[in-house]
Chains A and B, each alone.
Chain A
Amino acid sequence: MSSEIVPGKKQTAKAFPLTGKTVGTYHDDNLEGTVMKAFFHREGFLSACQLASAAVASRDVKPILRNLKAVADDGSCTLMATDLEIGIRLDVRSVKVEEAGAAILPTSQTVAVLRESLDEELELDADADRCLLRGKHNEFEMPGEDPDNFPDVPSFSAEQYHELQAGVLRDMIRRTIFAAATENPRYAVTGILWELDNESARLVATDGRRLAVTRHAAVCHGDHGTKGQTPVVPTKAMALLDRVLSDPDEIVRICIRPNDVLFKTDRATIYSRLVEGRYPDYKAVIPKKCNAKIPLVVGPFLTAIRQSAIMTDDESKRVSFRFDKNNLTLQAYGAKTGRAKVELPIDYDGKTIEINFDPKYLLEMLRVLDPETSLTMELTDNNTPAHCYTSDHYTYVVMPVS
């Protein structure tokens, strides 16, 4: 908010519409920021509120952050939600602004009112004391709060940024997000590393036992890139972005700044703070040499692992893989569960290799790929990480279990 508000100053009395109580409201010359009055198209406003509520803080935060903030200036209205880590900014369409200003809207009540109402248009009338939604035959009054106590979510104004198609970006997120650590004292690995250069974008995630890297061509505008930095975006922000992107053809603009990152779609801007700390040198983990190169198809490989994983139990979380000439044998054994043996014909005629994996780490990777995709697995011996990759620049490294 650019305007400065001095609560308690220059007030005139105004009747409380429902209760008849007299409350303070601000004098005309100090209207901006404290009073807001606008007419909304109900359905459009509802969908904006629902989308924004994805970023509303859930728990453990100050009560005011469980609300939405609406900021209206001449002819347009922006809706914001934040939990101080991530935030979202949405443009609300078809709004008639009568008095520019800002308002704090209680999320669940506002969404419920908009959902239950039958009117095509609703009036929002708010000041620091209360927030009023008015339809043709109904009126809903909610307690108001000072909008200046709600931090603004930054807007996207960069001239230098990268562009990716929403469908591509979503795919990249899904191919990496599962591999990030959930709880780790090395905070950097709890997020996704972004690397942007002149022609491509690369996303990296690891939890120390596996590593996922995906790369795709991206359009670069201006002098934007991440050379010399290791910007790590929290997984929470990536998950929100995944949820917000609906149209696969829409263009997403990405701007990485020293402390935060902004993603802009047609309607929404997603903001997130970056994670502190140095990201491990992931390139050193990817094996350079190998003894065996095995071509596989995702669908059948996934099925075989799933079948064999039935007989693993909590103690023996492993499936043994035996790569023979033209044949892969998967075996699992659990003291209580039993034994499984699954065979899969493969196109391989090298030396026999035996290696054990935690099936979870392979399944999570295979699930995000299309069943027809062909995958190459490179192995050295039973102590060296396996290196899987596809032709569309997806790399996955997984540690074997002994």
Chain B
Amino acid sequence: MSWQKIRGHDRVVSVFQHVFRSGRLAHAYLFLGPEGIGKRLFARELAKALLCEQRQPEILEACDRCSACQLVDAETHPDFIETGPPEGSMEIPIDAIRALCHSFSLKSARGQGKVAVIDHSDELNEEAGNCFLKTLEEPPPKSLLLLVGTTPDRQLPTLVSRCQLIRFAPLANGLLADLLREHGVDDRLIDRLIQQSEGSLGQALALADPALWEFRQKLVTGLKQQRPDKVALAKDWMLFVEEAGKESASQRRCSKKIIRLLVDHFRDELHAVCRTAEQDEPYDNHAAREERILAMIDRLLEADHQIDRRVQLVLLVEALVNDLVDLRLANAVTS
């Protein structure tokens, strides 16, 4: 019954149930897949199932009623440790990993073993990763480590080689639509969001904010003006993301969302340009327009990458707006 909360990952559920039944549970797993598809939820459900004190011995499924299950839900189970970057930060502090290793060094309090979950393992820096290596390499008996990350190349190689990899697939469109509806998202937005979110409920919900779509509209209109005001646009951008929060992490996240929506907009524009190809426009001219739009998308993706690399946000936004306007103006000249 408890696995029902995990939607769209039946394959992984049955893999774990099978592994558990045959007694071949490894000591460390690395869950990989896009953000916002339920990996951490799965990790927690797995922890609950393992720590549950009233489940049937052969079946890996939490009863959701015993006090162990309740304590996992309340995050106060002594044998369940979950850690990740603190709110507003993009890095897992080494102290959090030390605390995790320390509580892993104690014997199981309720005798069912211990489970630790590290969320956002992409954000483990080398120092924190190293601090954790010994625990990962020689875990105490009856303990399980679950790392939750996105792609293998964003993990520390020393950690990847010591874990079993479990890949999570993006959610199917139908399921995503159902989930969005359950979250009370406006029906009109749902199709757009599904297109945008690449099978990730988290992404879709993050983009479900109408203010974000309004701001996108504002930017697009601003860019389309005869003489776009670069300075004002960049300033508006910064004002908008500052509303998302004081910490740079939330501002970065907000900027990434805007970039996503802009990419989506230019993709639509590219579609439109391609569709008008049959008309009697000279081919060179047409190809140049396509090139320009592609260049703008490239520039946006580059900015997205720069955000990940922690380039200072103001500089990044100003440069991006500047380049987009220049590309757009060049575009206007050729067409």
Contact = CB atoms under 8 A, between A and B. Distances in A.
A234 B104 CA distance: 13
A181 interface: no
B107 interface: yes
B63 to A, nearest CB: 12
Contact of B106 (A4, A150, A274): A274
Contacts of A275: 105-107
Given A259-B111, A273-B106, A274-B106, A185 B134 contact: yes
A84 B107 contact: no
A62 B140 contact: no
A298 B109 CA distance: 42
B70 A276 contact: no
Nearest to B78: A84
Contacts of B71: 149, 151
B111 A64 contact: no
B67 interface: yes
Contacts of A258: 107, 111
A260 interface: yes
Contacts of B96: 60
Contacts of B106: 85, 234, 273-276
A33 to B, nearest CB: 11
A151 B76 contact: yes
Interface string A38-82: 000000000000000000000010101100000000000000001
Contact of B109 (A64, A84, A146, A185): A84
A148 B66 CA distance: 10
Given A148-B67, A259-B111, A64 B74 contact: yes
Contacts of B26: none
B203 interface: no
B235 to A, nearest CB: 39
Q: Which of A1, A146, A276, A277 has the most CB of B within 10 A?
A: A276
B257 interface: no
Contacts of B107: 258-260, 273-276
A156 interface: no
B76 A85 contact: no
A64 B76 contact: yes
Contact of B74 (A1, A62, A190, A276): A62
Nearest to A61: B76
Contacts, number: 66
Contact of A1 (B67, B77, B99): B67
Contacts of A148: 67, 70, 74
Contact of B103 (A62, A64, A85, A274): A85
Interface in B77-95: 77-78, 95
B65 interface: yes
B67 A259 contact: no
B196 interface: no
B105 A149 contact: no
A301 interface: no
Q: Which of A4, A151, A190, A274 has the most CB of B within 10 A?
A: A151
A201 to B, nearest CB: 20
A259 B65 CA distance: 24
B164 interface: no
A361 interface: no
B75 interface: yes
A277 B75 contact: no
Nearest to B114: A276
Contact of B105 (A150, A151, A277): A277
Interface of B: 65, 67, 70-71, 73-78, 95-96, 99, 102-109, 111, 134, 140-141
20 contacts: A60-B95, A62-B74, A62-B76, A64-B76, A65-B76, A85-B103, A146-B74, A148-B70, A149-B73, A149-B76, A151-B77, A151-B109, A185-B134, A259-B107, A259-B111, A260-B107, A273-B107, A273-B109, A274-B107, A275-B106
Interface of A: 1, 4, 60, 62, 64-65, 82, 84-85, 146, 148-151, 185, 187, 190, 234, 258-260, 273-277
